[in-house]
Structure 1
Amino acid sequence: MTRVPPALLRHRVTVEPYAGEGAYGAQYRHAIPDVPALVDASPRLVRAPDGRQITASATLIAGPMLDCPPGSRITLPDGHTTTAITVNHHTAPGLPVPACTEVVCE
């Protein structure tokens, strides 16, 4: 399996993986700082897992092993904090295309 070339992952983000709901709201696991990613801050209309249409504020591409379930808190390079709406792991075994994780942020 090939990976996204590191030279393309020009940005650095911080990911706090979503751990579920607790007595005081959303709970997150330890922060993962300095995650290499390619961030596209163009807004676009996406469908959330529950069927709602949401305007995404950013989309990021990272390595295939990124631990970022939907609901995770992400700090973008400009300092803006956002929430992961959908997370897609792209693989193509046997094909000469890179594996990656695509995260669409609220």
Structure 2
Amino acid sequence: MVLIPEWMFRHTATIEPFEGDGAYGPIYGDPVTEKCLVDDERRLVRNAEGSEVVSDMTIFLRAGAYYPAGSRVTVGGRTTTVIASKNRDGGGLPTPDHTEVVCR
């Protein structure tokens, strides 16, 4: 397995995993701090329902990380919401395995 090298994770994200909706709005789990690589690029992506939405930030995390849609992410003082979390695993091919998290 080939991983994105640890030295490339130059940013730190605080992620509050989405756990569901309550009577007063979204419910989040305990905050988790992850080293990451941030790409500020605006692009169209599909959400869990298949609708096209605009993503303003993509975060690359260690392989195996998972944060569901709706999770709250703070990077560099900027708070955003996860649209989708994608496992990028080459299945043994020499690719840089990682988790890609697209955010609003």
TM-score by length of 2: 0.92
Shift of 1:98: 2.2
Query: Which structure 2 residue ranges, 5 or more long, are not aligned?
Result: none
Shift of 1:71: 0.8
Query: Which structure 1 residue ranges, 5 or more long, are not aligned?
Result: none
The letter for the 2-side match of 1:2 is V
Does residue 26 (structure 1) correspond to residue 26 (structure 2)? The answer is: yes
Identity rate, percent: 39
Whole-Å Cα distance in 1 between the matches of residues 67 and 52 of structure 2? 21
Deviates more, 1:96-105 or 1:1-10: 1-10
Q: Which has the higher strand share?
A: 2
User: How many corresponding residue pairs?
Assistant: 104
Question: Would you say the 8 A contact 2:47–2:53 is kept in 1?
Answer: yes
SS at the partner of 2:96? Answer: coil
- 1:47 alignment counterpart: 46
Which of the numbers 72, 81, 84 marks the counterpart of 1:83? 81
The letter for the 2-side match of 1:42 is E
Q: CA RMSD in A?
A: 1.1
Shift of 1:8: 1.0
Large movers: runs of 4+ above 4 Å: none
